[in-house]
Structure 1
Amino acid sequence: MELIVAIYNISSVPKMLEIAKITYGFGVRRLALIKVFGAAAQQIGDLFKLAFKMGGEVLVFNDINDAVDVLRPDVIFALGKPEKDARPIEKVEGRVMILVHGADLAFSPRELPQNAVMSYAVKKDVGSTGHLAIALYKLLES
């Protein structure tokens, strides 16, 4: 399984860097930022520096469809709160994109590609950073 972590709609520099540390800390090399704005866009150089130090890479896209066209994931897990349409994240074969919302909001159906799977890591509301850390642990450490 090849993993790609993608952050959608991010404006917070501390959150952007924390997600990057979690991603690279679990050994995932590829981090995609989709729709970066505000302070995160202005200080994206800090992320590139962190990625270089931790052996990772950063890709930046304007929208989710651009990221999907370039990265070509076989499966897209859109992480969020455990809601009625969401299912637990699970190991699968192929190239997997884990999509997290940078503003801790729920994804709307309009934002996601058709083949995205609404998912959660645990049945608690631990925020997108928490769900990402737990999801990566489940997928890579178990």
Structure 2
Amino acid sequence: MDCQQAVNNVIPVIHNPASVQKLLDAVRVSLGFGVRTIVVTKAVGTAAQQGIPEAFRLVLKSGVALVVLPDIKDAVELLRPDNIYFLSTRGDSMGEIKGKSLMVIQASDQPFMQSELALGRQVRVVGRDIGSTALLTLALTRVLGPCIE
């Protein structure tokens, strides 16, 4: 996959954010890698009230689409990805990314629910708990690293 295809086809999904800072950090990381679409699902609390408007402000400057949806199932239904990767410290190796792919991070302290994991594949980015933003950063580096200067 060439770089233009990659940045169009890799879609970070920030799931279940409760913290404004965690939401904005994940959005900034995604923007730094040049992705064209960022999805936020199931935002709660201050992340929903203050974080979403601030995230829109960040992405509007970049010309990136920010999609805010109630749940991961909605993202799957509307975006129709070829692959759904749940970024984690457990699971299979990510391998090569092909086609439109959602890269989902759990932006809260809760683990993914089994019903969510059933939608795609849990992939091991790194074996230690380094936080969701770091998981997203490492996963995007593997996939889009050669595309950024």
Q: Which amino acid aligns with 2:65?
A: E
Give the TM-score taking structure 1 as reference length: 0.90
Structure 1 residue 104: Cα displacement: 3.8
Aligned pair 1:55/2:63, yes or no? yes
Q: Tell me which of 40, 52, 74 is aligned to 2:47.
A: 40
Is 1:31–1:58's contact at 8 Å kept on the other side of the alignment?
A: yes
Q: Structure 1: how far apart are the matches of 2:130 and 2:54?
A: 26
Which protein has the bigger helix share? Answer: 2
Structure 1 residue 120: Cα displacement: 2.1
Is 2:88–2:135's contact at 8 Å kept on the other side of the alignment?
A: yes
Deviating beyond 4 angstroms after TM superposition, the runs of 4 or more aligned structure 1 residues are none
Give the TM-score taking structure 2 as reference length: 0.86
- Give the percent of matched residue pairs that are identical in Structure 1 and Structure 2: 36
Structure 1 residue runs without a partner (length 5+): none
Instruction: Provide the alpha-carbon RMSD of the alignment.
Output: 1.3
Is 1:11–1:38's contact at 8 Å kept on the other side of the alignment?
A: yes
Structure 1 residue 54: Cα displacement: 2.6
Matches within 5 A, 1:1-142: 1=6, 2-43=9-50, 44-82=52-90, 86-112=91-117, 114-142=118-146
Q: Structure 2: how far apart are the matches of 1:57 and 1:120?
A: 27
Which protein has the bigger strand share? Answer: 1
Structure 1 residue 107: Cα displacement: 1.1
SS at match of 1:136: helix
Change (3 A) 1:141 1:3: same
Structure 2 residue runs without a partner (length 5+): 1-5
